[in-house]
A and B are shown apart, each in its own frame.
Chain A
Amino acid sequence: MSTQLAAPRRTGGPLRLGRRGIGLAPLAWIAIALYVAFLIYPIIQSVITSFTDRNPLKPASSFVGFANYLELFQDQRLLRSLGFTLVVVVFVTIVANAFGLMFAMLLNRSTLNYRAMRTLVFIPQVLSGVIVAFIWRSILTQNGLLNVTLQNLGLTDAAVSWIGTPELATLSICVVVSWMTIAFSTVVYTASLQSVPAELYEAARVDGAGAFSRFRNVTFPMIAPGVTISVTLGLITTLKLYDVIAVLTGGGPANSTKSVAFYLIDVAFTSNRFGYASAIAIFLLGLTAVIAYGTTGLLRRREAHL
C-alpha cells in the first residue's frame, strides 16, 4: 500500500507555475524567437554571404564557392591581424587571471572597507571600452600623463612613443585590455573564494600547512570552476576585441594593432567586400568556438581531476 503525499499547495502571482498557472512556456518561445532572430539567423545569413562576392553598393552578387575561404589563408593582412589578436589573447588571459586572483585573495574579507575596495577594483569592468580607451589615450600620447610624469621624475629625456611603434602599441593594447579584464576576473575569483568552506583551511592549518601549501592544496582546487569561467569568457571577449583598438590606436601604427574584428570591419565597410568579410566573420566564429571549447574541455577535465 503506497502512501501518497499531498502536493504542496501553490500560491503566487499571475505567473504561477504548474498546471493551473500560465507557466513559463510562452516566455521561452519569445526568448527562442529572439535568439533565432538576432543570433542564429544572422549567422546563417553570414554563412550564405560568405560564399558570394556581395558588395553592399552593387546591385547584384554572384556565388563564388570557396574563393573567399581560400583567400583567407593567403591574406597577409589577415594573418598579421590574427597574430596580433592571439598575442593579446595570451597576454590578457595570463595577466588578467593572475592579477584577478591576486586581488581577489587580497580583498577576500567581509568588512565594509574591503567591500568598498572590491567595488573600486570592479569599476573598469562597468566602463565601456570606448571610454577606457579615451582615458588611456590621454595617458599614452606624446604629451600625455605617462610621458610627462616620467620626464618630471627624470626617468626619460624625451617622450616615449607608447602608441607609435608596433611593439609598444601592442604592449599598450595588452595592458589596457588587461586592466579592464582584471576587474571581471577579480569578481569571479572573489565569488569563488567565498564558496570555499572555512573548515578546509582550519583542517589544513591543524595539519601544519603553510600559506603556499594552503593555496596549492585547498584554494586552487576549490576555485577551479571560477578559473574555467574567467579564462573562457576572457578568451572569448578578447578574441572579438574592437572598441579599445578603434579609439586607442586606430589599428596603427602601420596596421600593426589591427585585430581580426577590426580588419573585418575594414574589409566590409571600407573595401565594400561583404562576401569576404562574412568569410572572415565565420572564420573568427569557428576559431573562437574551437578555442573556447578546447579551453573549457581542458579546464573541466582539470576540475574533475582535482
Chain B
Amino acid sequence: MKRSRLVSAVALAAGAAVALSACSTSEPTDAAGDALTFMVFETPALDAAFWDTSIDNALAGLPGVKVDKIVSPDADRNAYAKQLQASGQFPDILSSINPKDFLEAGLLQPFDRSWLEENFLQPHGNDIDGQTYIPPTNSQVIPLVFYNKQIFADNGIEVPTTWSEFEDVVAKLKAAGVTPIEMAGAEPWAGSMSLVGLASADVLGQDPDWIQKRYDGKVSFADPLFADAMQKAVDLVQQGAYDPAALSVDFATANQNFIDGKSGMYPMGSWFTGSSYLTPEQAANIGAFPWPTDDGKVVIPFNIGGTTSVSANSKNVENATKFAQAWSLDPQNLAVLVETDGAYPMMKNLTLEDFGVTVSDLYTDTYSLVTADNTKVSSFGWVNNDDALAPGINDLFYALSQSFFSNTDVAGQLAQLDADWDAATGK
C-alpha cells in the first residue's frame, strides 16, 4: 500500500515535471552548447548542399564560431520564424525574412552603417526607419514581362511600350490562337504578377510615396488611382488574356507552358532568367520588357534583396553579426543566386566578372534595366523596406488575382482590403 502510494507520488511528480516543461518557453539547447542557429529555407536552386557549403565558407574566417542550420518546413520562412519566436526559439541568424514584422518587438539587430556604405551600391536600399536589417546584396525586377520571340515574329508583333499597345498584343495573340498571357494562377504569389506590375507601375509610378500615405491613412485602396489600376487587371481577364483554366496552373506548369510556346507573354520576377528555370537555348528565344504604362514611361518595379538578418537577442550578437556579414560578402554565395536565380548583384567592390558566373543574354539584357538611369519604384507587395505592406496584406493582395476571375466588383474587394489593412495596423 505504502509502495503503491510512493510510486503514485513519484509518477505524479514526474507528470507534473513533464507538464511544467511543456508549459515553459526556455531557450533551446544544442549539442554544441554555444552554437549559433541559422534559419534557412530550401528550394531546388538553394538546396541543402548550398546552405551547408555557404555556412562552411562563412565560418572559414571565424575561428571558434559554430553554426547549426534550422530548415524552414516550407518557403514561408516568415511564418516559421514567428512560430520559433512564439515558442522561445528565435534563431540567431535568419535568411530572407520580412524584417518589418519583427521590429516592433525589437527582435532584429541593425547592421553597421559604415559597413553598409563600404560594401553595397545601395546601402539604404533595405532601410526601415533609417536602419538596415538585411544587407542589400542583390536586386530583382518584379515583374518583367517575358515574351516568346518566335511567336512575336510569326505574328508580326512588336514589343509594346504603352498600355494600349500591350492590349493590342493581347488581342493579336488571342486571334492567333495563342494564350496571350501565361499565369500560374493556382499559386497566388505567382499568379499575381500582373497585379504587382499594375500597382507598381501605375500607382507607385505616379505616387512613389503611396504606401507611406496608406500607412498614414491619407490614401486608400478604394481610391481611383489604385482602383483604376486593378480595373485593368479585371479587363485583362475579361479580354481573354489568360487560359480559362489558369487558376489550376501551378508555377512549374506555367513555366513549362511558356517555355513550350503555349503562351506569348509571361509576367514573372527576374529570377526567371536564372539557369534553374531556363537553359541557354531556351533563353535565346525569350525577351523581356518592363511592365507597360499608359504614357510609355519606363517604370521598374524594383526589389532590393538580401539574405541574413541577425537576432538582437542572440546568445552572441557579435559573432552572429560577423557570420551574417561574412555570409553576405562571400561571392560564392551570391554567385549561386546570380547563376541559378537571376539575382542582380549590388556589391560595390565586385563586378559581375568577379563572380565567375555563366549567364544568358536574357539576364544581361534585363540587368541593364537595373543599371540604367530610369524610374525605379518599390515592387508592390514584395519589398522588405519601409514600403513593405502591413502584416498579412501581401497574401490578400495576391489573392485578388484569383478573385478577379469570378468577382468583377473591384470597389467592393478593395474596400475589404482597406478594412483588412486597418485591422492589420490596429486602426
> Which chain A residues have a beta carbon within 8 Å of chain B's beta carbons?
19, 22-23, 25-27, 29-30, 32-34, 36-38, 41, 53, 55-59, 76, 137, 140-144, 147, 158-166, 249-250, 252-255, 266-267, 269-274
Contacts and interface: CB of A to CB of B under 8 A. Distances in A.
Interface string B9-48: 0111011101110110000000000000000000000000
B84 to A, nearest CB: 10
26 contacts: A25-B8, A29-B11, A33-B14, A33-B15, A36-B19, A41-B19, A41-B22, A41-B23, A53-B426, A57-B82, A57-B101, A57-B102, A58-B105, A159-B245, A161-B246, A161-B247, A163-B247, A164-B245, A165-B247, A252-B399, A254-B399, A254-B405, A269-B82, A270-B392, A271-B391, A274-B86
A178 B18 CA distance: 38
A22 B4 contact: yes
A43 to B, nearest CB: 13
Contacts, number: 151
A165 B405 CA distance: 8
Nearest to A248: B186
Given A25-B8, A252-B186, A252-B399, A59 B407 contact: no
Contact of A252 (B104, B188, B253, B416): B188
B51 to A, nearest CB: 23
B11 A161 contact: no
Given A32-B15, A164-B186, A22 B85 contact: no
Which of A27, A38, A158, A165 has the most chain B CB atoms inside 10 A of its CB? A165
A217 B173 CA distance: 66
Contacts of A144: 248
A165 B246 CA distance: 10
B412 to A, nearest CB: 11
Contact of B402 (A23, A25, A56, A253): A253
Contact of A272 (B10, B14, B245, B391): B391
B187 A33 contact: no
A272 B244 CA distance: 35
Given A56-B86, A249-B186, 18 more contacts: A22-B7, A26-B7, A30-B18, A33-B16, A34-B18, A37-B15, A38-B22, A58-B105, A140-B248, A141-B248, A160-B248, A161-B246, A162-B248, A164-B248, A164-B249, A250-B186, A250-B188, A270-B392
Contact of A271 (B105, B188, B392): B392
B285 interface: no
Given A141-B248, A254-B403, A269 B83 contact: yes
A157 to B, nearest CB: 11
A36 B16 CA distance: 9
Closest 10 CB pairs of A and B: A33-B15, A164-B247, A254-B403, A37-B19, A26-B11, A271-B392, A253-B402, A164-B248, A161-B245, A254-B402
Contacts of B101: 57, 272
A23 B4 contact: yes
A29 to B, nearest CB: 4
A239 to B, nearest CB: 23
Contacts of A270: 79, 391-392, 395
Q: Looking at chain B's contact residues, is the secondary structure mostly helix, strand, loop, or mixed?
A: helix
Given A141-B253, A161-B248, A271-B424, A253 B18 contact: no
A58 B104 contact: yes
A25 B6 CA distance: 11
Nearest to B407: A254
Nearest to A21: B4
Interface in B203-244: 243-244
B49 interface: no
A30 to B, nearest CB: 5
A130 to B, nearest CB: 11
